Amino acid sequence: MVTLQASQPKNPLQSLQSYGQSVWLDYIRRSLISSGELQHLIDKDGLQGVTSNPSIFEKAIAGSTDYDSALSTIEQSHDRDAMSLYETFAIADIQATADLLKPIYEQTKWRDGYISLEVSPYLADDTQQSISEARRLWQAVDRPNVMIKVPATSAGIPAIQQLISEGINVNVTLLFAQDVYEQVANAFITGLELLAAKDGDIRRIASVASFFVSRIDNAVDNLITAQLKTVTDAAQRDVLRGLLGKVAIANAKLAYQRYQTIYQSSRWQKLSSQGAQTQRLLWASTGTKNPQYSDVRYVEELIGFDTVNTVPPATLSVFRAHGQPRSSLTESLDEARSTLANLQQAGISLQQVTDQLLAEGLQLFRNAFDQLLSVVEEKRTAILGNKLNSLTYKLPEPLNKAVQASLDDWQQNGKIRRLWAQDATLWTGTDENKWLGWLGITEDQLAHIDHLKQLAQEVQDLEFTHVLLLGMGGSSLCPEVMKLTFGNKQGFPELLVLDSTDPAQIKAIERQIDLTRTLFIVSSKSGSTLEPNIFKQYFFDQVQKLLGAESAGNRFIAVTDPGSKLQHIAEGDDFRHLFFGVPSIGGRYSALSNFGMVPAAAMGVDVAKFLDTAEVMVHSCAPSVPAKENPGVVLGNILGVLANQGRDKVTLSMSPGIADLGAWLEQLLAESTGKEGKGLIPVDQEPLGNPSVYGDDRIFAYIRLESAADSAQDAAVTALEQAGQPVVRISIADPYQIGQEFFRWEIATAVAGSIMGIHAFNQPDVEASKIVTHQLTTEYEKSGTLPSETPIAIEAGIQLFTDSKNASVLSKAAGTDQSLGSYLRAHLNQLKPGDYCTLLAYIDRNDAHQIQLQIIRETIRDAKKVATCLGFGPPFLHSTGQAYKGGPNSGVFLQITCDDATDILVPQQKYTFGVVKAAQARGDFQVLADRDRRALRIHLSKDVQAGLSTLQTIIEQIL
Ligand SMILES: O=C(CO)[C@@H](O)[C@H](O)[C@H](O)[C@H](O)COP(=O)(O)O
Ligand SMILES: O=C[C@H](O)COP(=O)(O)O
């Protein structure tokens, strides 16, 4: 303790030192430090320490502009998440305060001169996390005169012992009960003993036990006042009245008695003889709350040797002005005992009060922390402006209310933190924790960006004209988005993507490229997917014929998970490069990993910039960002809650320049959530209609590219909003910000999956059709033909097929006129409100076919007022196929197959690509039928365009 000169006139604050009490300030704020006011308090009032807590930092950072310019300087140089911004400010303030207090620390031989920093209030129930957080903060602040604050919960007490044993100074906070205080003192002493046993320097370990005072009076006075309303007995009323405003101080005085006993014990004497300092009681919560009580009561009544009182600024001022110090802490101890005994007799349990105060105290700190982080997040978002894609939404009121309640649940139950902590119980508790590697992928990629930069350089140097990506689903959809969004980058090859076994489509791609100047990327996470493997066989064979076996591998790159079959093939064929995926990232969550970024780098996208830009969204969705501020969590809650209320058709509308994002989103949403009879049904590329064509099963998501928006789309979305349809709007200022949507929607899908109660990372029903396809191709290899089938109707060169169950339903409904039209009418008449209709087209995906299918789709939507989807096979099998089979049984399917005009033999196999496609269509159909889906297959002849025209005419006639 610093001894003041005898000659100096002492103010009441300064006088406290002569009673053995140190005054600390329960407040911190940057301007207090920078203005010199804190130094003044140290110099003039003898202030000997400072404490902070989440509420104090909330007032400082959220309630002032002290930090605004620092915040914008940081953000302008590099974006950080709200938690990291808060910590940067908090740590800087703590360090600056520690430096101001350092002379006191040294003069008092490490007894005083401390500043405290509290661990996140969200860790109060977790011993291990409290320990690691405290260690991390201790190292980050890197000052000997800091104390890390840990709450006195049952999980906190073992953490306190451990931290003390490691030589970390601890301020034990949220202490209300004497018994708990004893446990804390015991943990402290044990911690010191452990440190001494390791030959640690125990003399320098300082700790305080922050015993809260005024809150006890508040709580107890309320209970007494409530009793006084019912108790009529005069004597009892006197006793009750006499207890008002007495309990907190009585409790503190008796805690101090325990302190004295503990630190006179022989156990302590052993440590003391080695130079250990006691863990002082520190009176906290010492601002007077009840205006009827003296404003200095919780200072004046608690003065005693070897104690600390941490006071808020207002109490500091009034005590300086009129405080009357006396040695009060050891006065009237009998009265204190009888106060507590009377309280018990009056039926008020002090233990219940203190238990409740601890729970409330934690909640208050959590609320303050959330408020603090919300405000930092708001300030950050304002500084970022349009560098962060915005999200707004308008929902009909009952739905909005349900979404807000769900967001509250996510907040109060710490679910965002649980998501980031990879807690499988947020979903089904199966193995979801093994599939969350995508949460940290941007950081990982940026840390190893050189391999992508080198690839980009190499591709340029070698002057390839094309990069052809061979892959399916999660391995092809992000590259498709990149291709459409970024087009051809000057000086780089054009990226093409092959994800279809349709022979016409393969030929169309082959016609576009020069095989000798193309770089092939074979992309498959599992490395065992049929399509990329046979694509590789085909193109490797072609290149080999032109360049010779030695050189062919030089034109191939593989992206796959370590140890896969594709890795072995790539090594065997001497591929140019082998890039690995992360096994804990499933295909549809892999966009920002090598599966999306290798092709992006090869086509000339600045991947470092792309990932850096995506990180802005990662920061916005961070675990510490409160639910209502968290853009991924907000979207996930909207999707999950609306799906549970029957609005499960997520109708996607994108600006034309980013239209392919829809196909990527389709896979993410459908494959992640469409299972166990539940699911979000994405509706992509369905042209927006007027509000009258929609039922009440939709939610609309409009993703607008600000630089190239479509005014008709804008008007249509506004009309939907005005008609009361739920609409989410996302705005993207720059195509480079599309990566933010990858991450936002991944978080949103994971959140929606949790709300819907499903495993958001598996795809059990995709596997089912793969198995049937495999059986069919094996059969073909043996017999040279696929099993024969009998159509249920033939007309105008079009054949209809279905399974026996659907056949009998449709035949009955078609009646005597078993024409194509009657069957189609019977099939489409099964559509009822809330259903959706999907066209599953196993044909060449060219512009003409797309236009025809879109017309058919619109006709069905407008006539039946149902959602309509369009999937090309086989790609959709790796995407929406999961939801069609595993999701709600509300789909009515029209599968469209055709005879192939030309076919291509798969090298080293007996089958052709056409046979594979046919087997895939049949496998798909069989599984749909096995799952009791309403499905009809329409088989066209070789002239697909003519067949589609006939189909279009019939559908227009019958609806
Ligand atoms: O625990 C410490 C210091 O160790 C304090 O910062 C403590 O958190 C504060 O005194 C209280 O939170 C203030 O409580 P109150 O005045 O709001 O009741
Ligand atoms: O979405 C995933 C597709 O089924 C492709 O899987 P893959 O990357 O293991 O080949």
**Model ipTM value:** 0.89
Q: What is the 3-state secondary structure (H, E, C) of 841-909?
A: ECCCCCHHHHHHHHHHHHHHHHHHCCEEEEEECCHHHHCCHHHHHHCCCCEEEEEEEECCCCCCECCCC
The region that residue 227 occupies, defined by phi over 0 for left and psi between -120 and 50 for alpha, beta otherwise, is: alpha
Report CA(312)–ligand 1 centroid distance (Å).
Answer: 8
**Cross-strand pairs, 934:** 892
Q: Where does 390-421+623-756 sit in CATH, by number?
A: 3.40.50.10490
For a substitution probing ligand 1, which of 210, 220, 280 has the most ligand atoms within 8 Å of its CB?
A: 210
209: Cβ contacts below 8 Å, ≥ 6 apart? 152, 172, 175, 181, 184, 185, 188, 279, 280, 281, 282
Q: In the chain, what's the furthest Cα-to-Cα distance?
A: 117
| Ligand 1 centroid, distance to 389 Cα (angstroms) | 39
> 441-614, superfamily in CATH?
Glucose-6-phosphate isomerase like protein; domain 1 (3.40.50.10490)
Which residues lie across from 211 on neighbouring strands?
175, 283
Question: What's the CA gap between 762 and 671, in Å, rounded?
Answer: 8
The protein residue with its alpha carbon nearest to ligand 1, atom 15, reads: 285
pLDDT in tens, 238-253: 999 999 999 999 999 9
Confidence (pLDDT) at 770:
84
CA distance 79 to 72: 10
CA distances 322 to 4, 15, 17, 291, 578, Å, are 20, 12, 16, 16, 77
pLDDT score at 7: 53
Cα 368 to Cα 57: distance, rounded to the nearest angstrom: 8
Angle at the Cα of 626 (from 622 to 627), degrees rounded to 5? 95
Other Cβ atoms closer than 10 A to 725:
21
Q: By alpha-carbon position, which residue is closest to atom 4 of ligand 2? A: 878
Q: Are 372 and 62 in contact (CB under 8 A)?
A: yes
Give the CA distances from residue 97 to residues 64, 70, 614, 672, in Å, rounded to whole numbers and listed in that order: 18, 18, 36, 50
CA distance 149 to 52: 9
Buried-exposed string 407-427: b where 16+ CB fall within 10 A, e elsewhere: beebbeeebbbbbbeebbebb
Q: Which of 802, 406, 753, 384 is nearest to 588 (CA)?
A: 753
For residue 458, report the phi and psi dihedrals to the nearest 5 degrees.
-65, -45
473 pocket-lining for ligand 2 (C-beta < 6 Å): yes
Instruction: List the residue whose alpha carbon is closest to atom 2 of ligand 1.
Output: 284
Find the ligand nearest to 664 CA.
Answer: 2
Q: In testing the pocket of ligand 1, which one of 23, 59, 285, 289 has its CB within 8 Å of the most ligand atoms?
A: 285
> Which pTM does this prediction carry?
0.91
Q: What's the gap in Å between 754 CA and the centre of ligand 2?
A: 23
The DSSP string of 41-83 is: HHHHH---EE---HHHHIIIIIS-STTHHHHHHHHHH----HH
3-state DSSP assignment of residue 249: helix
36-48 tens-digit pLDDT: 999 999 999 999 9
Q: Which ligand is nearest to the CA of 298?
A: 1
Ligand that comes closest to the CA of residue 565: 2
Q: Which residues pair with 355 in a beta bridge?
A: none
Here the tokens at position 701 are: 């998501």
Which ligand 2 atom sits nearest the alpha carbon of residue 529? Answer: 10
Ligand lying closest to the C-alpha of residue 121: 1
Give the Å distance between the CA of 929 and the centre of ligand 2: 24
pLDDT at 8 (0 to 100): 59
Ligand 1 pocket, residue 315 CB under 6 Å: no
Is the minimum distance from the CB of 118 to ligand 1 under 6 angstroms? no
User: Can 379 be counted among the known catalytic residues?
Assistant: no
Dist. CA 868 → ligand 2 center (Å): 25
DSSP state of 774: H
Which CATH number is correct for 764-958, 3.40.630.30, 1.10.8.10, 3.40.50.10490, 3.40.50.10440?
A: 3.40.50.10490
- Closest ligand to C-alpha of residue 147 is 1
3-state SS, residue 396:
coil
Q: With contact defined as beta carbons under 8 Å apart, do 518 and 555 qualify? A: yes
User: What's the gap in Å between 526 CA and the centre of ligand 2?
Assistant: 7
What is the best residue among 497, 521, 523, 529 to mutate for testing ligand 2's pocket, by most ligand atoms within 8 Å of CB? 529
Q: Which amino acid is at 288?
A: T
Tally Cβ neighbours within 10 Å of residue 232: 7
Does ligand 1 lie within 6 Å of residue 26's CB atom? yes
CB atoms within 10 A of CB 924: 30
CATH number of the domain at 26-364, please?
Answer: 3.20.20.70
CA–CA distance, 743 with 590 (Å, rounded to integer):
10
Ligand 1: which residue has its CA nearest to atom 3? 51
Between CA 636 and CA 374 the distance in angstroms is 18
What are phi and psi for residue 957, nearest 5 degrees? -70, -40
Contact 468, 518 (CB under 8 A): yes
Here the tokens at position 167 are: 């030589």
**Six token digits for residue 379:** 């300030």
Report the residue among 469, 525, 766 best suited for mutation to probe ligand 2: largest number of ligand atoms under 8 A from its CB: 525
Q: Which of 607, 608, 610, 629 is nearest to 620 (CA)?
A: 629
Q: Do domains 390-421+623-756 and 764-958 have the same CATH topology?
A: yes
Predicted pLDDT at 818: 86
Ligand 2 pocket test target in 498, 501, 524, 767 with most atoms within 8 Å of CB: 524
Q: State the Cα–Cα distance between residues 596 and 492, nearest whole angstrom.
A: 17
Closest-CA residue to 83 (of 365, 402, 343, 370): 370
Question: Ligand 2 in contact with 532 (CB < 6 A)?
Answer: yes
Report the nearest-CA residue for atom 10 of ligand 2: 524
List all residues 6 or more positions away from 627 whose beta carbon is below 8 Å from its beta carbon.
407, 408, 410, 411, 415, 416, 633, 634, 637
- Closest ligand to 472 CA? 2
State how far Cα 133 lies from the chain centre: 20
Q: Whose CA is nearest to atom 4 of ligand 1?
A: 210
Q: Tell me, in angstroms, the distance from the centre of ligand 1 to residue 349's CA.
A: 23
474 in contact with ligand 2, CB cutoff 6 A: yes
Q: How far is the CA of 527 from the centre of ligand 2 (A)?
A: 8
Q: Which of 10, 44, 149, 864 is catalytic?
A: 149
Q: Where are the domains of the chain?
A: 26-364, 390-421+623-756, 441-614, 764-958
Strand ranges (E), 119-267: 146-151, 170-175, 207-212
User: What's the pLDDT at 1?
Assistant: 44
Question: In this structure, what token pair is assigned to residue 328?
Answer: 């009060």
Strand ranges for 696-792 from DSSP E: 698-705, 727-732
Q: How far is the CA of 82 from the centre of ligand 1 (A)?
A: 24
Compute the distance from residue 588 Cα to the ligand 2 centre, in Å: 8
50 Cβ closer than 6 Å to some ligand 1 atom: no
What φ, ψ does residue 560 adopt, rounded to 5°? -160, 165
Looking at all shown ligands, the one closest to residue 882's CA atom is 2
Please tell me the distance between residue 580's alpha carbon and the centre of ligand 2 in angstroms: 14
Rounded to an integer, what is the distance from CA 195 to the centroid of its chain? 39
Q: What single-letter amino acid sits at 578?
A: L
Q: Is 131 helix (H, G, I), strand (E, B) or coil?
A: helix
- For CA atoms 33, 38, 42, 47, the dihedral sign is negative
- Tokens representing 575 are 């591929």
Whether 479 lines ligand 2, by a CB cut-off of 6 Å, is: no
Q: Whose CA is nearest to atom 12 of ligand 1?
A: 285
Angstrom CA distances, 619 to 129, 422, 597, 637, 734, stand at 21, 17, 20, 19, 18
- Give me ligand 2 centre to Cα 418, in Å: 28
SS (H, E, C) 517-573: HEEEEEECCCCCCHHHHHHHHHHHHHHHHHHCHHHHHHHEEEEECCCCHHHHHHHHC
- Other beta carbons within 10 angstroms of residue 43's beta carbon come to 10
Tell which atom from ligand 2 comes closest to the C-alpha of 877: 4
Ligand 1: which residue has its CA nearest to atom 8? 53
Q: Which atom of ligand 2 is nearest to the CA of 671?
A: 1
The residue ranges of DSSP E strands in 737-866, in sequence order, are 793-795, 798-801, 836-841
Taking the C-alpha atoms of residue 34 and residue 37, their distance in angstroms, rounded to an integer, is 8
Angle, alpha carbons 679-685-686 (nearest 5°): 80
Residue nearest to atom 1 of ligand 1 (CA): 173
Cα distance between residue 837 and residue 686, in whole Å: 12
Can you give the pLDDT at residue 667? 98
Which of 51, 150, 208 most suits a substitution to test ligand 1, by most atoms within 8 Å of the C-beta? Answer: 51
DSSP label of 177 = -
CB of 525 shorter than 6 A to ligand 2: yes
One-letter amino acid of 889: N
787 burial type by CB count under 10 A (0-12 exposed, 13-18 middle, 19+ buried): exposed
* Consecutive 10-residue averages of pLDDT for the chain (959 residues): 53 95 97 96 96 94 94 94 96 98 97 97 94 98 98 98 98 98 98 97 97 98 96 94 97 98 97 97 97 96 98 97 96 97 96 97 94 95 97 97 98 94 97 98 97 97 97 98 96 97 97 97 96 97 94 97 98 97 98 98 98 98 96 98 98 96 98 97 96 97 96 98 98 97 98 98 88 90 93 94 97 91 97 98 97 97 98 96 97 97 95 96 96 98 96 96
Q: Is 672 in the pocket of ligand 1 (CB under 6 A)?
A: no
Q: Quote the ligand 1 centre to 316 CA distance (angstroms).
A: 14
